[in-house]
Amino acid sequence: MATSLYDLSVPTFLQTVRAMAGFLDRAIAHCAETGADPDDFVEARLYPDMAPFHFQIEAACHHSVWGVLTAKTGSFTPPDLVGPIPFAGLRAMVGEAVTALEAFTPAEVNSWAGKTLNITLHRPLDENDRSWKPWAPRQHAFTPETFLLSFSLPNFHFHAVTAYDILRMRGVPIGKRDYEGRLRNKSV
């Protein structure tokens, strides 16, 4: 049996988004045990020129839900970033992403397979300067499959693992299995 567009996207995103919910819950439990404030994670960064924790969570949610929606609409138009919000708000955002992803059906998503998508993505005006400056638009021809596999999934996993890494760096006792989430084993 071939892998469908639905299989490539929705269950793959759900596995990691649910894992994100789990490691956010582990962070809350860790804070309760240590007396730390989970809101202290919101602005945490791995490195000074990297985006903070709240951005990592928001971007991962956007690349999952709006990655799938792009396969439908041909336009990658996630909502504007909300910026720093309390940790509880980030946890709610992840829950909303799970709900939105669960609403997609296999028949619906598979009906978008193979169509041509002409998507405008933004790249730095100066490829050697990655600071937060205006980005120049660049047109890309994709199919839903190539968009998801070469743009949304890599960006999604980058932001999800960066959020995980920030929590790990800050002492939250999480490991690889927390990131992997529930594996999708063969059905009997």
| Inside any domain, residue 99 | yes
The enclosing domain of 69 has a CATH number of 1.20.120.450
The model's pTM is 0.87
pLDDT value at residue 81:
78
pLDDT value at residue 132:
47
Backbone angles phi, psi at 142, to 5 degrees: -130, 170
pLDDT value at residue 123:
57
Of 147, 143, 110, 139, nearest in space to 11 by CA: 110
Round the average pLDDT of the chain to a whole number and report it.
Answer: 88
pLDDT value at residue 139:
80
| Inside any domain, residue 35 | yes
| Inside any domain, residue 4 | no
pLDDT value at residue 49:
86
| Inside any domain, residue 1 | no
Which long-range contacts (C-beta less than 8 Å, at least 24 apart) are formed by 44-53? 44/166, 44/169, 44/170, 45/166, 46/162, 46/165, 46/166, 46/169, 49/130, 49/131, 50/162, 51/162, 52/84, 53/90, 53/163, 53/166, 53/167
Can you list the residues of the chain whose pLDDT is less than 50?
A: 125, 132
Q: Which domain holds residue 44?
A: 12-124+136-180
Note the Cα 57 to chain centre separation in Å. 7
Q: Which residues contact 181 (CB under 8 A, 6 or more apart)?
A: 15, 16, 18, 19, 22
Domain count, the chain: 1
